[in-house]
Amino acid sequence: MKLKIIETIFSSKRHFFFSPLIRFLVSLGLLNVWEGVYRSWEEAPEDGNVHEGKIWVNKITDSAKKALADYRSREETVSLTSLTKDYILSVASGMLLTSAERDLCIIDFGGGMGASYLPLIASIPHPEKVEFHIVEGKTICGRGQKILKEFSKLHFHTEFPKLTKPVDIVHAGSSIQYVKDWKALLEKFVDYQPRLLVLEDLMAGDIPSFITTQNYYGKKIRSWFFNINELIEEIESLEYRLTYKSRYTREILGKFAPLRMKNFSPKYRLNYGTHLMFERK
């Protein structure tokens, strides 16, 4: 009876009004997303023609309409179609590893205590083939070395390290916007001549470049917001070509939502962060 009611709701023209209710019921455990464990495909119960039914078709249609609307926003530098909730370093690393004849060497600027390293090694079949160097502040490096001492190929540095082996990727996640001379920082990145330059969660978009103050638990931090085309042009002038761009949404107050910038003039407002990836020319 319960499932029949849900089917009726989502078959109606106003089914989208009830989605929050369904999510609420799921969160309470009153509705299950999946049920049962079966030994064979045939053993599992299934309603006929679900993939041709009204609910399925309506969902696919709604999704397609949204994707199309987002795609039509592509006159903006980064289309909403490419919106992601994930970092891309793991995917980029996995792709390079398939053709690598040696360990993959990665430098992560502002990488915290393995914020990108742990998801990376959890995502690839041979984590032992990744040598990872984090460039961070002294306190974070010291604490990271203690907490993550079991990872022999994870290294912490308070300055950019001098490495004898080639660097495959230089990564910076939500970090270059906190550096005053970000252009000089980019030059340090490319001094390693990495195959890929991966910049994630950048405060960059179709806005003028400007500096602002970020309130951080009672403290204030200066931060850049970038005009994305200026940023791309600067990096391409360093002999790198853009290969990937997407918008990035982060969790705020338990929800994935646009950045809260209503206190800014509209021309300075940025709804989402940006991921950019470049390869050496």
Phi, psi dihedral angles at 277 (to 5 degrees): -135, 135
3-state secondary structure of 214: strand
Name residue, tokens 């089917």. Answer: 7
Q: Which helix (H) or strand (E) holds 69?
A: helix 54-71
**Dist. CA 200–CA 247, nearest whole Å:** 9
Judge if pTM exceeds 0.85.
no
Which is nearest to 273 in space by CA: 175, 194, 185, 157? Answer: 175
Amino acid at 224: W
Q: Which residues contact 219 (CB under 8 A, 6 or more apart)?
A: none
Domain ranges of the chain: 83-280
281 residues of the chain, pLDDT tens digit each = 444 444 444 444 444 444 555 555 545 555 545 545 555 556 655 566 655 566 645 665 676 567 557 656 655 666 554 445 577 898 999 999 888 788 999 999 988 888 888 888 888 888 899 999 999 888 888 888 888 888 899 999 999 999 999 999 999 998 998 889 999 999 999 999 999 999 999 989 999 988 898 877 656 788 898 999 999 999 999 999 999 999 887 765 456 678 878 888 888 888 889 999 999 99
CATH code reported for the domain at 83-280: 3.40.50.150
**Dist. CA 173–CA 111, nearest whole Å:** 7
